[in-house]
Amino acid sequence: MKRLIALAIGVMVLILPSWGHSTDVLSYWRTQDGIGQRGAYRHLLEIAKPQFSARDSALSRLTTREDWESYIESSREKFGKIVGELPARTPLNAVIVGRTEKDGIIAEKFYYESMPGYKVPAVLFRPAKVSGRLPAVLYCCGHIDNGFRYENYQTVMLNLAKKGFAVMSLDPAGQGERKMTKMAAATHEHSYCGVQAFACGYSPALYFICDAMRAIDYLQSRNDIDGERIGVTGRSGGGTQSAYIAAIDPRVKALATENYVTSMATLLASKGAQDGEQNFIHAVYEGFDNADLLTMRAPKPTLMVVTYNDIFPIDGTMKAYEETRRAFTALGAAENLEISIDYGGHQSTKKNNEAIYAFFQKHLGGAGDPSEVKVNHFDEKHLSLFHGENFMEKSGSKTLSEMNLLLGEDAKKARRALQESDYRDYLTQLPEMVKKVTGANAHPAEKVEATLSGRLNRERFDIEQYLVKGCGDYFTPVLRVIPHGVSNGKSLLYLDDNGKHHAVETSEVASLAEAGYTVVIPDLSGTGETGTGYIAGGDSEISGVSLNLWHASILVNHSMAAIRMAEIAKVAQLAISLQGTDNKISAQAIGAHCADLLQAATVYNLFGHLTLTDPLESWQSIVGAIDYDVKHVPGMSAGVLRHYDIPDLINYMATQGIPVEVRHKK
């Protein structure tokens, strides 16, 4: 034990008067750096800094055409790695549902299969009186509930149609007629389903990319479309999708991406990590940034459409533009990179719209001038394929969660391949596997810094309040319940996924104290006083759990599981030091913290007995489910199901002689 972990715990004892009966700790230390609900996120930003610096250093050495060509090729390789393998192209099986005409524009409604059984509702706008093979633009929708029916999007699409373009748009997964859950926001549905893909080792962006690439396949299949003159545009989440597709699909002759591209360093320091499909597995860790999406398509015509007060910071946007401009210049095509900037927030403006029209007219053709004209929008009813009916049921389409089941089976096969020859040998390798998958350190910090903040008196026990330095530049609040009766000389680490305040109000903690146990209860990152560990109200905060924070951890390859594991190790060491008798400690976890404890116990040799109350049966059970509890997400790491699952962690404990008791309250 002592050989494995050098333990030097310095407890700064500062006796302070308690403040009423509150079990809060952080509020007392409000002027201390690293105090607050963003502690875990601050830690992830610190981890990201050297990763950003390494990329900046590599870019500074690029000067020649050959340098940039080599860099672009390496970016393509990274992109394939962080997204996952694209599925093979299969028959589109397009079905036209109906046509309607308004103000000289024909709207053709149809759906196609981007993957077998996975059907995509779409629309094609084209001028009624123009013949011949038309240039085409794929318009990617942002995060709006009604998809391509949104009037702001129609304004751009119908203006392009009036200028001689065919314009196709589709409902992204979770939007329009593809909504699957009752969640209020598309970003929530993207992230909720995206969790399942991430756990299997795939970025959910894979689905959005595949849908759009198959849309281009559809455009090229039509005899009224010029397949050599295809452009892509979109705003916000559509700007994201358009940048993805144009980066890897050589058929995209011209790209106009709006309200999206900014540097990841600036985004993470301001708005923070966004919803599921806007993140790639280990992207920052691998040195991949948003500007790479644009340099990957150099020297093809590219327009950045920007507003000064966008949610995607203008400073990072200009940095991305300058970086991309270097690549285009080195490749001898500086004139093919353009930028349009206007005043405004996260929105389209008339000036920027007209820049898009002019850009596509210049590079794809089209008729008339680029001035925006007033258009008559199509009613949402007329653009719905099956108005008032369920598209999934009517078309026989698989849902996104059902598609994730296929990824889950793929992950299970990869996991079984690691286990099938000798499962016991597999278990001996599990600690190193957990470290690698989670990004956890091999050992907890040598010194645990803790400050005693006060002591509260309850009927059957006292409560000491501690401020414990976390695994980075932040703090973990901890309570230590000390029995009034005779102590049995043992400490127990108690992890409640509802937080420490909830724990001390339970009869179970009171019973443990009456039995003589000293009970140590932290608020692990994302629980209790530490809130979501992120910026309040992120676009993917679901049921009080910040999936935005989880996405940030995926980007930098240091999982939330790793953060919580280190916090568990620190608090366990503190408990052992204060008890002064044990060199190992028993631990009890409830709900979502069961997985955190199991992973910590696999990596850190600190525990002699584990009790799990209402644990999740397996992470595999989340994949494909439409009603899983998001509180279990932080304990998972990207790609974890390709390596191990919760039952494997429990089986490892048996090989180490660590008893595991499983309880169920329900």
What is the per-residue pLDDT across 243-281, written as a single tens digit (0 to 9) for each? 999 999 999 999 999 999 999 999 999 999 999 999 999
Tokens at residue 440, please? 């956890």
- Residue 59 is predicted with a pLDDT of 97
CB-based contacts of 560: which residues, under 8 Å, 6+ apart? Answer: 40, 525, 526, 533, 549, 550, 553, 634, 635
- Of 11 and 511, the structure prediction assigns the larger pLDDT to 511
CB-based contacts of 663: which residues, under 8 Å, 6+ apart? Answer: 611, 612, 613, 614
% of the chain residues with pLDDT over 70 = 95
- Residue 13 is predicted with a pLDDT of 41
pLDDT digits (tens, 9 = 90+) for 277-328: 999 999 999 999 999 999 999 999 999 999 999 999 999 999 999 999 999 9
- The answer to whether residues 276 and 312 touch, using CB atoms and an 8 Å cutoff, is no
- Of 124 and 1, the structure prediction assigns the larger pLDDT to 124
pLDDT digits (tens, 9 = 90+) for 477-515: 999 999 998 889 999 999 999 999 999 999 999 999 999
- Residue 442 is predicted with a pLDDT of 58
Helix (H) or strand (E) holding 509: helix 507-514
Reported confidence tier of residue 11, pLDDT bands at 50, 70, 90? very low
- Of 249 and 666, the structure prediction assigns the larger pLDDT to 249
Adjacent-strand bridge partners of 120: 112
Q: Phi then psi for 588, rounded to 5 degrees? A: -130, 135
- Residue 665 is predicted with a pLDDT of 82
- Residue 9 is predicted with a pLDDT of 44
Q: Is the CA virtual torsion 422, 428, 430, 433 positive or negative?
A: negative
Give the mean model confidence (pLDDT) for residues 175-186.
86
Please give the CATH number for the structural domain made up of 10-45+425-663: 3.40.50.1820
pLDDT digits (tens, 9 = 90+) for 614-654: 999 999 999 999 899 999 999 999 999 999 999 999 999 99
Give the mean model confidence (pLDDT) for residues 230-251.
97
- Residue 7 is predicted with a pLDDT of 42
With a cut of 70, say whether residue 444 has pLDDT above it: no
With a cut of 90, say whether residue 239 has pLDDT above it: yes
Helix (H) or strand (E) holding 443: none
CATH 3.40.50.1820 positions along the chain are 10-45+425-663, 83-386
Q: Tokens 């509930």 belong to which residue?
A: 145
Give the mean model confidence (pLDDT) for residues 389-397.
94
- Alpha-carbon gap, residue 223 to 499, rounded angstroms: 62
With a cut of 50, say whether residue 4 has pLDDT above it: no
Instruction: Name the DSSP class of 156.
Output: H
**Which range, of 49-53, 367-371, 392-396, 659-663, averages the lowest pLDDT?**
367-371
Give the mean model confidence (pLDDT) for residues 571-600.
93
Reported confidence tier of residue 1, pLDDT bands at 50, 70, 90? very low
- Residue 183 is predicted with a pLDDT of 81
With a cut of 90, say whether residue 138 has pLDDT above it: yes
Reported confidence tier of residue 83, pLDDT bands at 50, 70, 90? very high
- Residue 214 is predicted with a pLDDT of 98
Helix (H) or strand (E) holding 211: helix 205-221
- Residue 666 is predicted with a pLDDT of 63
Reported confidence tier of residue 15, pLDDT bands at 50, 70, 90? very low
- Residue 591 is predicted with a pLDDT of 97
Sheet holding 337-342, edge to edge: 95-102, 105-115, 118-127, 166-170, 134-140, 225-235, 254-258, 302-307, 337-342
**Which range, of 22-26, 117-121, 410-414, 545-549, averages the lowest pLDDT?**
22-26
Architecture of domain 83-386: 3-Layer(aba) Sandwich (3.40)
% of the chain residues with pLDDT over 90 = 85
Q: What is the mean pLDDT of the chain?
A: 93
- Residue 535 is predicted with a pLDDT of 78
Cβ neighbours of 247 (radius 10 Å):
20
- Residue 446 is predicted with a pLDDT of 63
How crowded is the C-beta side of 363, counted as CA atoms within 13 Å? 24
With a cut of 60, say whether residue 151 has pLDDT above it: yes
- Residue 262 is predicted with a pLDDT of 97
